[in-house]
Amino acid sequence: MGKGNKEGTSKQFRWTKPMEHLFLEILVEEAQKGNKPSNTFKAVSINRVVEAISKKFQVQCDAKHVENHLRTVKKQWQIICTIRGESGFGWDDNMKMFTCDRATYDAAVMAHKKYEPFLNKSIDHYDEMALVVGKDMATGSFARTFADIDLDDDNIDSVPIDCENEATEEVRTNVSSSGTSKRKRKKAQESVNDEQIKFVGEQLGKIANALEQFTADKTPHLYEEVMSMEVEGFNDDFLCSVFDYLVSHESEAKAFLVKSKKHRKIWLQKFSQG
């Protein structure tokens, strides 16, 4: 996430990484409590961020700073969603990063300079951004981000409300091949919608469970798991640096904890080169 250098009212206000972390942490909690009924957070949520930032970092933060930074995060999220829709890009959900070949990367950066900060690296606070500025925030759903399922209102409305009555009446008055076809199409469409809704529900359950599990303090466990990689040939100083980094990057810490020893070693080797 960017520094937000242009944000501020009467003077420049710089957002540091720890500030951004606290900003997202609070707004995630506020969204989960239902304080984002539309596309904007309630004033109580904004004020909570203002007070927390001002108190913890001893700075003069006001509502305008928070609102401006929220707009910055929304713009960043729009870029991320645009990249996800581009041909040639894959997505590593464990690492929270885009995957592509060198040719695709070079072409994308040349055509869209704004893509570069989000390519070839893990995206900080990806899950939190999805929850705070994702499209379906009114219901706390960001399954669209993970599953790319389209359940827009116009698709749902394409099934007539009284279709069951129509089908019943049609069978009573005219048992024809045309009527049978309509009933089959209706059932098939309903089946597809049911499967989509079921899948979205499953994804939401997994996401909510992951967030809930990580609310507890995992720091001691994370430290043990990171330092256990010493047997793979990594020295103490390097692993301590990795631990400090993961403590301030929750999404990457969660991904690290679920990886196998083999995949942790690969991640650590990449981290040492980066």
User: Cα–Cα–Cα angle for 258, 263, 266, nearest 5°?
Assistant: 135
Output the pLDDT for position 192. 58
Identify the pLDDT of residue 22: 96
DSSP label at residue 232: G
Share of the chain above pLDDT 70, in %: 65
CA distance 128 to 139: 15
* pLDDT at residue 220 tops 70: yes
* Arithmetic mean of pLDDT, 4-29: 78
**pLDDT at 18 exceeding the cut of 70:** yes
Banded pLDDT at 40 (limits 50, 70, 90):
confident
Whether residue 148 is predicted with pLDDT greater than 50 in this model: the reply is: no
Examine the pLDDT at 105 and tell me if it is beyond 70: yes
pTM (predicted TM-score): 0.48
Task: Look at residue 51 in the predicted model and tell me its pLDDT.
Answer: 96
Nearest to 255 by CA among 21, 93, 20: 93
pLDDT at 167 over 80: no
Give the pLDDT of residue 173: 43
What is the per-residue pLDDT for 223? 84
CA distance 168 to 179: 10
Evaluate if residue 140 carries a pLDDT over 70. no
CB 191 within 8 A of CB 206: no
pLDDT computed for residue 168 by the predictor: 38
pLDDT at 1: 55
- In this structure, the number of other CB atoms found within 10 A of the CB of residue 45 comes to 20
What is the rounded end-to-end Cα distance, in angstroms, of the chain?
18
In whole angstroms, what is the distance from residue 260 CA to residue 100 CA?
23
Q: How confident is the model at residue 193 (pLDDT cuts 50, 70, 90)?
A: low
- Indicate if the pLDDT at residue 238 is higher than 60: yes
Hunting for tokens 């793979």 — which residue is that?
232
